[in-house]
Amino acid sequence: MRRFLTAGTAATLGLLLLSACSSTGPAPVCNMSGIDAQRQLVEVPADGIFSSSPLKELPMNSVAITDETIANKVFVRAVNARRTATGTVEVVSQIINCTDYPLNAEARVQFYDKTKVASEPVSAWRRFNLPARTSNTYQELSIGTESVEYYMVEMRETR
């Protein structure tokens, strides 16, 4: 005895098969308008009381993209820090690749004390891969415990 598919069953089965093949997973949204807000610079103290400084510096507790070839390719979704159980500081930053091709990047972090002076040597450059339209996390631990109050993550593209 043979069973035949009705037209409705065959159509439903066909749509299910097509939908399984045609869609890819969701990609992160790259809000490029937010990049300018991320790159706000803060004023450096002026030389005199009534003079303004022509220089700007990067704010503490942020990611500085120092390579202009990658600046419009990635978006920093978040950067946070927390104290670990041992008292060190862990910096975690989430980076999104906004391009349609994979990127290789590297980052390092400098930790500062409460007076904004480097409290330990800058970390080594650590490489990470950013597949097309995905995100990855860069994280680093400080060596010091009580001396760490601020941090600055520096990021660039590798070749």
CATH of the domain at 140: 2.60.40.3230
pTM for this prediction: 0.70
- Write out the residue range of the structural domain in which residue 63 sits: 33-157
Tens digits of per-residue pLDDT, 90-128? Answer: 999 999 999 999 999 999 999 999 999 999 999 999 999
Within-domain flag for 72? yes
Within-domain flag for 11? no
Spatial neighbors of 145 by CB under 8 A, at least 6 apart, are 86, 87, 88
**What is the dihedral sign for C-alpha 147, 154, 77, 26?**
negative
- Average the pLDDT over each of 22-36, 95-109, 144-158 and give the range with the smallest value: 22-36
Within-domain flag for 138? yes
Our count of domains for the chain comes to 1
Within-domain flag for 55? yes
Q: What is the pLDDT of residue 113?
A: 95
Within-domain flag for 54? yes
Within-domain flag for 62? yes
Within-domain flag for 103? yes
Mean pLDDT of 6-12: 55
Mean pLDDT of 127-135: 94
**What is the dihedral sign for C-alpha 95, 101, 102, 107?**
negative
Residue 51: is its pLDDT beyond 70? no
Within-domain flag for 8? no
